[in-house]
Amino acid sequence: MKRLVSIVCGCLVLLMMFVVPGNAVLAEENDCQCPGTVITGAERNKLVADLLKSDEFKAAKKQLMKEEGYTWAGAGAIEVRDFGEVEGYPAAVLVYQVVFVDQDGSLQGAAFFNIMGEMQYSGEVFPIDEDHDHEH
């Protein structure tokens, strides 16, 4: 049941990232209209370290690399967003976009969620639009 909830939440977040308009202030500064606030700097590094040492990440990375042939793009390519202020989400939701490269060289994203301190993997990999601007 817990796994089903993770998958449903993951699909919902992915859908929201591409369909729901972002904050108007962010849209003025940047073309990206993804929901949530991008976390940067030392706080991002700490959150990425928490992700990298989680069992969920280790298992998903192993599966994606060994069984599905993806190559991990590294910790520097991970984007962390705080969804705490996005309507419809609990106050303690962080979304991680982990970048992998498929056999064709296309960028693929795997979504991980930290929901109230518990790391979860969405179970899906989705194409990343390389023209999509996430340089905040």
**How far apart are the C-alpha atoms of 124 and 108, rounded to whole Å?**
10
* Half-sphere CA count of 127, side-chain side, radius 13 A: 7
Which of 102, 104, 100 shows the shortest CA–CA distance to 112? 100
**How far apart are the C-alpha atoms of 54 and 52, rounded to whole Å?**
6
Tell me which long-range contacts 25-28 makes (C-beta under 8 A, separation of at least 24): 26/136
* Half-sphere CA count of 39, side-chain side, radius 13 A: 18
pLDDT tens sequence across 6-18: 554 554 454 455 4
* E strands in 4-106: 37-39, 71-72, 79-82, 93-101
| Single pTM value for the model | 0.71
Question: For 38, phi and psi rounded to 5 degrees?
Answer: -70, 130
pLDDT tens sequence across 20-79: 444 433 333 445 667 788 999 999 999 999 999 999 999 999 999 998 999 999 999 999
Question: For 71, phi and psi rounded to 5 degrees?
Answer: -115, 135
